[in-house]
Amino acid sequence: MTAQDKLDMLVEIAKGLGVSVRYESMQGAGGGLCKLRDKTVLFVDMDADALTSYERVLLALAANCDLDAIYLKPEIRQDLAHLRG
C-alpha cells in the first residue's frame, strides 16, 4: 500500500468523523488539523510529498480524534505506533 493510498484512507476517515478537508498549498509543511468557526478542518498540503502529508495527517488525527475506536488497516496502526515512538 502506498503512502498516497494510506493518505486517501485517512482523508475518508476524517470526513466520516465530520471533519472538513481542504487541500491547500502550504509549501511542503504536510498539513494539519485546526478549528475554524467551531468546525474542525483538516488541511492537506498539496506541495508536500504523499509520505509527509500522510504522517502529518495521521499524527493530527491521532492527537484530536479517538482512532482506537475506529477501524484502521494494520499498516496504518503500525505506522501510528511507530510515529508515536
Give me the half-sphere count of Cα atoms (radius 13 Å) on the Cβ side of residue 33: 23
Q: What is the pLDDT of residue 66?
A: 86
Domains and CATH numbers, the chain: 3-84 (3.30.2010)
Q: What is the pLDDT of residue 4?
A: 96
Look up the pTM and report it: 0.88
Rounded CA separation 3/27 (Å): 19
Give the tens place of pLDDT for each residue, 20-63.
999 999 888 778 899 988 999 999 999 999 999 999 999 999 88
Residue 9: Cβ within 10 Å count: 16
Three-state SS for 30?
coil
Rounded CA separation 66/48 (Å): 26
